[in-house]
Amino acid sequence: MARNKEGLVLLLDVGPSMHRALPEVENVCTTLVRKKLVFHRSDEVGVVLFGAKETHNDLARELGGYKHVLVKHDIKVVDEETKDALENLPRGTAPGDFLDAIVVGLDMLIKRFGDTKAKQRLCLITDAQHLLRDPPQGTKEDQVDTIADQMKKHDIKMDCIVFRESGVQHNSVMDENDRLLYHFRDRSVAKVVQVDTPTALLGALKTRNVLPVTIFRGDLEVSSTFKIKVWAYKKTSEEKFPTLKKYSDKAPPSDQFASHEVKVDYEYKSILEPDTVIPPDQRIKGYLYGPQVVPISSAEWEAVKFKPEKGVKLLGFADRSSIPRSYFMKDVNSFVPEPGNTKAMVAVSALARAMQEMNKVAILRCVWRQNQANVAFGVLTPNISSVNNVPDSFYFNILPFAEDIRDFPFRSFSSLPPSSQPTEEQQEAADNLVKMLDLAPPGREEILRPDFTPNPMLERFYSYLGLKSKQPDANPPPLDSCLRRITEPDPDVINYRVPLIQNLGKSFELKENPKRKKARTQERLAYTDPDDQAKSSENNAEKATAADGQAKKPEDPYAEKARAIEVMFPSTEKVGKIEDVNPVKDFEAMLAERSSSIWVQKAIEEMKKYTTNLVENSLQGDYYEKALKCFVALRKACIIEQEPEEYNQFVTKLYERLKKVDDVVKFFQLLSSKNVLLICKEEAPDSDVTEEMARSFFLKTEISSE
């Protein structure tokens, strides 16, 4: 069996006390199988039920005993049959004895894999509420020691999940069973987790085991004469969706060796010579440097790259409070002393405990691999172990450079006028809402702990993938109740606290929030005092009255309303329009008016119409220079105003409409040569255009599929 493959036996308690939890047990176990079908299709899985009505296992036939233990599915390569075995589990009638089930599962693994160095695991799910039978010889603790010795001999690990709903009264039997399970943990062969909700059960069983791989093995260099041997692992890393690939159904059904993969080839052709393919050796990447493009070959780029020496060096120490939590970037890594190295363990422990006592953190310079293209700076935080046989370690977080930090000058709430500050009644209502939705109330287990909370999007995806494999036309099912408790507030809490929520609504003036156009950055960051707004409106009204001259008779009320609207949203004629003398200056003046977002949109539309007119009515390129300046101004404005799609769609439609006109093609070549391209994501995050797409837009690209 390969090193990265796993043999797993699921030990599931189906006794009477577990009947209410069995739907969640079925759900979490089938999710595990679905993920193995995606990521580890060669893993082998077996299913053992205990507390069942029937008895069916090899040990019962060979030795007797081991009653009510049923081997539901022998250890085999995971497939749809494995998933089917975990659906509609039988409801048992006898109390479950988890020690008997562990022995049966252990026997199955030993018989299947023998002394091979295969990765083997038992997974026990039970409520551990029933009295276990006494062993023929010795005590139950002796039996646990015997089982643990065999597990260590064959390098078999076990995950124990104890599911007891909140409100279950502990008794001496449960205490004894818990003590036996934790004895497995003390022997370093098992991990024990206790959960009390179906959602926590869904997250407690790691449905996808990621093989721990070091990202660094070497010295933590404190000084030239003081080095500590450490290993670095990833502690947290975002779980991604599995890669979805393109497949073709063009291969004949009889071809068993067809891969059905779709290959995409790109051919680059020049606009001047559309029938000539440009080979790779005649293409080179370029980088903007002011108005020009500087070409840099791949060999030159490799020569320019910074290639530091591999190593981790301590730069110094800092107060823990001087590193804001918001500075932590990317994944979290764990630095542990080199396994088996006693001196390294003592050195790491001494350093970590000194840092903990002085409330300090360490700043490191890290190069994980030889010839790595970048250097990471980060903060090392001590992690003092609370378990006797687990050494102290460190957590490592990447810190940002100056270029990585984003400063947003939002004003403080304390600077708002008194009319915008909450009253005591409003503050009290908000405080009560926070207390009501406390996820860690006193005397109760924390709800939605990250260790036991699965990603609802991933879980839903795998569930639908399994359904789709059987029913190709199936629609996505409604969200599972366990996942709904992750994505939505607990309905029991909401219903119980209805008066508090109603009081919150009465404390504030509630208004309908109409759907509006997305605000621009300048409008979001700008703040105007309501009193200033009122004064501004009065001043504008006075100016409008003075400009109208001396009226001798009352005006029509509709005329007065029209004048007020005109003050708020000036017309193009009043502010100005884009004229032939200096169109760019006129366009910038219209943008500067900024009476509202609608006015900015009008300015962009005016410029688009004017630019289109220049391009279409140009004779032998006489208007191209002026049109180029207009394109540059329009492009810049759309970036600033966060309207990349306005510009990209305008250019795309204009290009598609006029690209067959020989004279106009030269203008698009001019845009390309001056680097007036589509707006890409690097320039505006709202853009859907990548840098590569922007640079190749004016080139004729052909895609051929095999």
Q: Are 46 and 107 found together in one domain?
A: yes
How confident is the model over 243-252, as pLDDT tens digits?
Answer: 777 888 888 8
- Domains in the chain, number: 3
CA separation, residue 310 to residues 234, 235, 313 (Å): 18, 21, 10
CATH of the domain at 661: 1.25.40.240
Tokens 């190593």 map to which residue?
311
Give me the CATH number covering residue 31: 3.40.50.410
Check pLDDT > 90 for residue 96.
no
pLDDT for 333: 94
Q: What is the pLDDT of residue 64?
A: 87
Q: Which residues pair with 367 in a beta bridge?
A: 311
| Same domain (yes/no): 233, 155 | no
pLDDT in tens, 305-348: 888 889 999 999 999 999 999 899 988 999 999 999 999 999 99
Quick one: how far is CA 191 from the chain centroid? 27
H helices of 270-384, in order, are 298-304, 342-358
Same domain, 175 and 314: no
Query: Which backbone phi and psi does 157 adopt, to 5 degrees?
Result: -105, 165
133 and 224 part of one domain: no
Q: What is the pLDDT of residues 307-318, one digit of tens each?
A: 888 999 999 999
**Residue 120, pLDDT above cutoff 70:** yes
Q: Are residues 232 and 338 in the same domain?
A: yes
**22 HSE (CA, 13 A, CB side):** 20
The reply to whether 255 falls in a domain is no
- The single residue listed with the structure tokens 């089982």 is 147
Q: How far apart are the C-alpha atoms of 121 and 539, rounded to whole Å?
A: 78
User: How is residue 410 annotated by DSSP?
Assistant: P
Domain boundary among 366, 382, 404: 404
The answer to whether position 473 is within a domain reads no
**Is the residue at 419 inside a domain?**
no
Beta strand pairing call for 119-126 and 6-13? parallel
Instruction: Specify the pLDDT at position 4.
Output: 67
Within a domain: 490: no
Q: Is residue 502 part of a domain?
A: no
Q: Are residues 80 and 158 in the same domain?
A: yes
Q: Which long-range CB contacts under 8 A does 424-430 form with residues at least 24 apart?
A: 425/507, 426/507, 426/508, 429/500, 429/503, 429/504, 429/507, 429/508, 430/504
CA–CA separation, 344 and 277 (whole Å): 60
- Show the tokens assigned to 454: 């699965």
In this structure, are strands 329-337 and 393-398 parallel, antiparallel, or unpaired?
Answer: antiparallel
Q: At 504, which helix (H) or strand (E)?
A: helix 498-507
Cα–Cα distance for residue pair 585/117, rounded to 1 Å = 76
What's the CA gap between 248 and 262, in Å, rounded?
Answer: 6
For 123, other C-beta atoms within 10 Å of its C-beta total 20
Cα 281 versus chain centre, distance? 39
**pLDDT tens digits, 610-658:** 888 888 887 777 888 888 999 999 998 888 888 888 899 998 888 888 8
Q: Which residues contact 528 (CB under 8 A, 6 or more apart)?
A: 536
Q: Is 197 within 8 Å of 203 (Cβ atoms)? A: no
The H-or-E segment that residue 669 falls in is helix 662-673
Residue 595 has pLDDT above 70, yes or no: no
- Is the residue at 481 inside a domain? no
Q: Looking at 154, 185, 204, which one is the last position of a domain?
A: 204
Strand ranges across the sheet with 44-50? 69-77, 44-50, 6-13, 119-126, 156-163, 190-195
Q: Which helix (H) or strand (E) holds 179?
A: helix 172-186
* Residue range 211-230: mean pLDDT, rounded: 91
Same domain for 331 and 186?
Answer: no
Report d(CA 701, CA 680) in Å as an integer. 18
User: Model pTM greater than 0.85?
Assistant: no
Decide: helix, strand or coil at residue 601. Answer: helix
Measured CA to CA in angstroms, residue 196 lies from 18, 128, 446 at distances of 12, 13, 10
Helix 98-113 to helix 140-153 angle (10° resolution) is 20
Do 26 and 135 sit in the same domain of this protein?
yes
Structural tokens at position 674? 């001056």
Helix (H) or strand (E) holding 186: helix 172-186
Per the CB < 8 A criterion, the answer to whether 115 and 81 are in contact is no
Q: Is the pLDDT of residue 400 over 80?
A: yes
Q: What b/e readout covers 284-316, taking b as 16+ CB neighbours within 10 angstroms?
A: eeeeeeeeeeeeeeeeeeeeeeeeeeebbbbee
Residues 131 and 228 reside in one and the same domain: no
pLDDT in tens, 273-288: 888 898 888 888 888 8
Q: What is the reported pLDDT for 2?
A: 53
Helix-helix angle 597-616:644-658, to 10 degrees:
20
From the list 544, 638, 554, 623, the residue with the least C-alpha distance to 583 is 623
State the Cα–Cα distance between residues 165 and 210, nearest whole angstrom: 29
Write the pLDDT tens digit of every residue in 231-241.
999 998 888 88
Q: Which residue range(s) make up the domain with 135?
A: 6-204
CATH number of the domain enclosing 324: 2.40.290.10
**Nearest 5°: phi and psi at 163?**
-105, 110
β-strand 360-367 against 264-269: which pairing, if any? unpaired
- Report whether pLDDT(3) > 60: no
The pLDDT mean for the chain works out to: 82
Percentage of the residues of the chain whose pLDDT score is greater than 90 = 28
Regarding whether 229 and 135 lie in a shared domain, the answer is no
CA 68 from centre of chain: 44
229 and 141 both lie in a single domain: no
Q: Which residues, at least 6 apart from 202, have a Cβ–Cβ distance to it below 8 Å?
A: 24, 27, 28, 31, 452, 454, 459, 482, 483
Query: How far from each other are the two terminal CA atoms of the chain, in whole angstroms?
Result: 36
Other CB atoms within 10 Å distance of the CB of residue 483: 19
Is 548 domain-assigned? no
Alpha carbon 683 to its chain centroid, in Å, reads 23
Q: Which residue has the tokens 């589990």?
A: 89
pLDDT at 468 over 90: no
Please determine, for residue 704, whether its predicted confidence score (pLDDT) is greater than 50: no
Give residue-wise pLDDT tens across range 540-584: 444 444 444 444 444 444 344 333 333 333 443 445 578 888 888
The verdict on residue 318 lying in a domain is yes
Which tokens belong to 358? 């002085």
SS (H, E, C) 671-685: HHHCCCCCCCCCCCC
CB neighbour class for 134 (10 Å; exposed up to 12, middle 13-18, buried from 19): exposed
- The CA distance from 523 to 600, in Å, is 12
- Indicate the residue among 378, 404, 430 that finishes a domain: 404
Q: Which residue stretches of 114-171 are H helix?
A: 140-153
Q: Are residues 114 and 219 in the same domain?
A: no
CA gyration radius, the chain: 35
Per-residue burial over 528-549, b if 16 or more Cβ lie within 10 Å, else e, is eeeeeeeeeeeeeeeeeeeeee
What pairs with residue 45 in β-bridges? 8, 76
